[in-house]
Every structure is written in C-alpha cells, then in structure tokens.
Amino acid sequence: MFWSAAGGGVRRYLEQKIAWLGGFPDSFRHLLVVPGASDSSIEDGIARRSVVRCPSIPFSPGYRMPVAVGPVLRILSAWRPDLAEGGCPFRFRKALSAWAAASGRPVFDYYHAYFPVSYTASVFGSRTTPLRRALERAGWAYLRSVYSDSARIFVASPVVRDMLSRHGVTNTELAPLGVDTALFRPRDGGAAPPVILFVGRLTGEKGLGTVVETYRAVAGRRPARLVIVGDGIMRREVEELAASDSGVSFLSFLEPGALAEVYRRSGVLLSAAPAETLGMTFLEALASGIPVVGLSGSGLMDTFPSAIARAVDDPSPERLAEAVLSFLDSPPDPEACRRHAESYSWPGRLAAILSRELEIAGLEVPAGIGDTP
C-alpha cells in the first residue's frame, strides 16, 4: 500500500536495496511484490518485480490498495524465498502470514507508517472523540494480531519504537533507513539562499497547510521563497497558491537527481508532519548541507543536534517561523550538516538490516556483507 508509482520513501528504500544487492550476484536474488494497474512481471539481473493488479486509492496519486491475497500466495509459492519482509500491515501481509505458516519460513516487517494514529488524524484532525478512541483501539488490536507471527519488526526511529511498545507491539528493533550520500551533497560554495523547501506528499497529514502559513510568517519579516516538491490530494490548492504568490514555486514530483539539485539551491528544509516514522527528507537535506526544521516527536528530529536541526515542540506557524528564521539569518556549516547524515549512508544501513534478518532466520551472512561501510 505504501508503494507508489510516483516515488516516496518506501519505494526509494526498496529500489536502493535491490541496487545494493546487485553487488552480491552470487549470494542473493530479490523478489518484489507490489500493487499496480495490471498484473505483470519484470526480471532484471538478480531482481524480479511482480505487480499484482489492485484498485487505485482515491485522492492518492500513484498509490493502490493491496487487496489480492491469492495472487501473492501463488507468486511466493513459485519463487520459494528463504525469508520475506512485509512493508504494510494490510492484505498483502495476510498473504505473508499464510505463506509463512505453510512454508515454515520467517516473515519480517518494517513499520513504515503511523498506523492507526495517522489514519484517524486524517479524519478527525486534532479532535479527540469516543469514536476516534474506539477506532484507534481497534487499529492497535489489529496491528498486534497481524504482527504476532513476525520474526522481528524493524522501526526507523526511537519515537516509533516507544509508541509501538506503549500499545503492546514489542518485538521491535531499531533499524533506521538511509540516504544516498553520493547523490545528495552540499552546494559548491556560495551563501545559502533564503529558500524554504518542502518535500513530501501534498496532504494534510504532512502538515502542508502549516508549512504555507510558516512561510508567510517568515516572508512577513524578511525576504524568503517557498519551494514545494511532491504530489497528492492538495495539488490543485498548491498550483493555485503558486499562481497567486510569486514567492511560491511548485515543482511537482521530481526524480532523485533533480531533487538533489533543488536541495542544493535551498536554505532550509521545513516539515510540519507530526508523525514521520523516519523522515527520509531530513537525511537528504542534511546530506545536502542544509538544516532542518520539524516537529519534536516526528521521526529522527529529536536525535539531531540543535545546531543543524530544530525540533519544535509547538506546531504553530509562529514557532516554526522562529526556527526557520534562525537558520536563514545564521546558516550552519554545510559540512556540519552532512557529517550527521553520513552515518546513515544506504550501504551501511542496508547491510545492518539484512544481516539481522539473516541472523534471526538462522541463515549464513555472506562474506563481505558485514564489511559494508
């Protein structure tokens, strides 16, 4: 469900994994099963991508609802993997449970989204009602059930691990994802431009409305521009905003190479999403040498030093604007930003995750995997 034809963090993780595994052609083959517009299968080197036809999700460009269990089971039975990793807790995960029970092979999970909290927030906003509480209780009960056969549930940040633990999901292990430090790198000299950058889905859950209000608060005090990159349900509103405000630029979805150039032309990344599991854009920004402003409790925000990232505990545009202004007025050293992203380089992070899966599954870790920097 979290796989999108138009990019996104989950897709980037999986594509990076496949590319990295390609460096060990004698040790691995990789099967990726994702929802799509029609059934298809593509093989490329060690990798096979099997697409299962699923309906599109309304108002979510590029995303589809994984509902088919039978086709997934048939693909797994034909491929006979040694282990599997689930990326979402819905229907495809049910297929993994059935496959694991029949094959005796382990299933691992990566918790990519704040289910059920972000789902209820998209409906109720900040309101707490009896219905919302009941839905969240049901969601947590479902998650405990669906993950009951998981060999290990990997999580991207300490805040996510703590949240899951509070709700009875305890078989977790911290395993942050990564960033392409070769692609995302600082600009070659020059002062940081007064550009506020937003990268992400154009939805309310990503705090886009708060980002726009924060930009207006900043622009009222000093020259600044807002650049918005992404796609989603709020696309029309963003297009209208860019047409009516000369200080706002909308670039839609960008491939990683073009996105890296945009980071280098920006002064600060702004996120108002309250519930990131990791915040891959945080790492991309830091690797690109620019600071980050976001909300405390969201992904990795609280793990970065305040010299390069401000974790704001009040989600108001005024407080976020103060943090943005502090970086625009006094930018940090780009190399200081980058140093804190380098420990999250993709090869090292992927090696750590795969090594743990192989160890827990009782499988041999091939030579060279543990030597990945």
More confident residue, 42 or 118: 42
Domain ranges for the chain, please list them. 9-178+345-361, 195-342
- Buried b / exposed e over 286-309, threshold 16 CB at 10 Å, is bbbbbbbbbbebbbbbbebeeebb
pLDDT band at 102 (very low <50, low <70, confident <90, very high): very high
Enumerate the β-bridge partners of residue 1: none
Structure tokens at 348: 């090292």
pLDDT at 4 over 80: no
* Fold (topology level) of 9-178+345-361: Rossmann fold (3.40.50)
| Side-chain half-sphere CA neighbours of 303 within 13 A | 19
pLDDT 10s digits, 305-337:
999 999 999 999 999 999 999 999 999 999 999
Residue 256: predicted pLDDT: 92
Residue 162: predicted pLDDT: 95
pLDDT 10s digits, 204-253:
889 999 999 999 999 999 999 999 999 988 999 999 999 999 999 999 99
pLDDT, averaged across the chain: 92
Fill in the amino acid letter for 300.
L
Within this chain, domains 9-178+345-361 and 195-342 share the same CATH topology: yes
Domain 195-342 CATH superfamily? Glycogen Phosphorylase B; (3.40.50.2000)
pLDDT 10s digits, 149-206:
999 999 999 999 999 999 999 999 999 999 999 999 999 887 889 999 999 989 888 9
Residue 59: predicted pLDDT: 63
